Structure 1
Amino acid sequence: MTFFVSRAWLLDETPATRRQAVWGRRYRLWLGLKTNPMAMGGLLIILAVLILSLAAPLIAPYDPGVQDLTNRLATPSSRHWLGTDELGRDIFTRILFGGRTTLGMVISVVVLVAPIGLLVGCLAGYAGGWMDKILMRVTDIFLAFPRLVLALAFVAALKPGVESAVLAIALTTWPPYARLARAETLQFRHSDFIAACRLSGAGPARIILRHVMPLCVPSLIVRITLDMSAIIITAASLGFLGMGAQPPSPEWGTMIATARRFLFSEWWVPLMPCIAIFVTSLAFNFLGDGLRDVLDPKER
């Protein structure tokens, strides 16, 4: 009975409080997302990868760094589900722990770049004038270079490693978010509710932080979800080129780099981390498409 009452409360067309309106909107968005089977499939895959990666120390059958040279390059079996690599390490275990590294890098990048891109874009779109020109020209400079090339340059200027890779990817990822936030801000900069905020005495900082930025968040969430696959591939590419996580760290790109010479003989060694990257990236794309259909009013 409680479930039906709460559901009716969430779907009430005339919410009595702001809290009820906010949760009702969220619940309707969830109902819209549930009708998209590809988006739900992507969400389930992402949750599974996250849970398996976080629980790797508990469910992994072996230590990711333990070598067994007598059992090197073993084929997939009941003992080693995905086989072993050139040093006899269990590939399934290393993929689980590698997910912690790769997804940790991706989450760190998003936490760094999303607020920066959102703030820069909203500030440029709301202020206009010389500030808009300066901020957007800086953004254009970063956009002029391919993401991977610029990330390689940043890592080379620092030192190879996970921290350097996260910082490099973050420095090359924020410009599209700034452009998107600016475009969204320009649409309602002269809206009536913004004018009402000014008349009520709200300053530019309060208007940007409390009113403009929240309106840009839905579009930014969609863009971030769609960009997750590109960030994963960039992080794996840096590892593959020796600029990201360093061996013997179990990172997916690094695993492919050390196993690429076995591609035509012991195919399972490089193929398994490739499948992990492919499945995770595809799941984020599916989820991003579903979120775009739900959050973008133009898609309804």
Structure 2
Amino acid sequence: MSRPRVLRVLPSTVVGRVALGAVLVLLAMALLPVDAVTNDLTNRLAPPSPAHPLGTDHLGRDLLARLAAGTRLSVGFTLLAVAVSAVLGTVAGMLAGYLGGPGATLLLRIVDVLVAIPAVIVGLVLAAVLQPGLRTLLLAVVVTGWTPFARLAYQLTLREAGSGYVESAIALGAGPGRVVFRHILRGVVRPLLAHGCLRFANTLLAIAGLSFLGLGAQPPTPEWGAMLAEGRPYLFSAPGLVLAPAVAVLGVALLVTLLGRALERRWAG
């Protein structure tokens, strides 16, 4: 008996299912109502206890609460950045791959240039022009983040454009827009979704790095990269202030990467 259509897109390996389950737990934790910004200077740098399982930070704020609240911003903002990058890159890559010509050549040259520029450099330049904040952070990540999707979409579109069902649609009089976004998109969406999971880790690390430099979320907003910067002066007296957000960043990046690998194997088969 075949599985329902909704379940067919889920990873079939144990590692993929564990990764998916862990990501869902993290997202559920992000929805918990917690107080992550109220200061309690009488309880600053407190060790772990039943009331504060991970202890408190230099302002007496519960570290676990800030870690959970930071999940909303760090993971949610990364998902937004990946989604925007995926849409822009996919549309540009598919149109260039199908239409070809000088526009496609220009797109590939732009992609080659932007791939060589780290998101941190773009963030520093934008911060010098604009004010540091979430909008600047999103712009810095998207400016460099759409290029891998454009390159992959371009290659996949070239492959799909020669398939029988696309040639049949053209013979029946379908226009370029219908061919690209109805017929070709159907064949490239799965590889692009799996690639999005793999790009998630790089995007999360870029956002955490830019926030660590003060270019992202501003205090007292809890964000994992900003929490790393706040905890750095207390690395030896209270190492949990650095270890907790660092483990969160690396753990989520690893889990989503494993999920992406599982989806690649699942859909490749």
CA distance in 2, matches of 1:105, 1:28: 28
Partner of 2:247 in structure 1? Answer: 275
Bigger Rg over Cα: 1
CA distance in 2, matches of 1:151, 1:295: 35
Is 1:238 the counterpart of 2:215? The answer is no
Q: Which deviates more, 139-148 or 273-282? A: 139-148
CA distance in 2, matches of 1:28, 1:250: 36
% identity of equivalent residues: 36
Letter in structure 1 aligned against 2:243: L
CA contact (8 A) 1:95 1:252 kept: yes
Partner of 1:102 in structure 2? Answer: 74
Aligned pair partner of 1:154 in 126, 136, 148:
126
CA distance in 2, matches of 1:269, 1:210: 49
Shift of the 136–102 alpha-carbon distance from structure 1 to 2, 3 Å rule, reads same
- Structure 1 gaps of 5+ residues are 1-7, 12-22
CA distance in 1, matches of 2:138, 2:205: 13
- Structure 2 gaps of 5+ residues are none
Letter in structure 1 aligned against 2:189: V
CA contact (8 A) 1:118 1:213 kept: no
1:49-64 to 2 correspondences below 5 Å: 49-54=26-31, 56-57=32-33, 60=34, 63-64=35-36
**C-alpha distance after superposition, 1:95-124 (max 9, x if no partner):** 111111111211211221111111111111
CA distance in 2, matches of 1:49, 1:28: 23
Is 1:43 the counterpart of 2:20? The answer is yes
Partner of 2:108 in structure 1? Answer: 136
Partner of 2:142 in structure 1? Answer: 170
RMSD, aligned CA = 1.5
Aligned pair partner of 1:114 in 74, 77, 86:
86
**C-alpha distance after superposition, 1:56-78 (max 9, x if no partner):** 21xx3xx2111111110001111
Query: What is the deviation of 1:171?
Result: 1.3
Is 1:288 the counterpart of 2:260? The answer is yes
Secondary structure of the structure 2 residue equivalent to 1:89: coil
Secondary structure of the structure 2 residue equivalent to 1:130: helix
Structure-1-length-normalised TM-score:
0.86
Count of residue pairs the alignment pairs up: 269
CA contact (8 A) 1:151 1:172 kept: no
CA distance in 1, matches of 2:38, 2:160: 58
Aligned pair partner of 1:186 in 158, 161, 185:
158
Query: What is the deviation of 1:289?
Result: 1.0
Secondary structure of the structure 2 residue equivalent to 1:86: coil
Query: What is the deviation of 1:29?
Result: 4.1
Query: What is the deviation of 1:295?
Result: 1.4
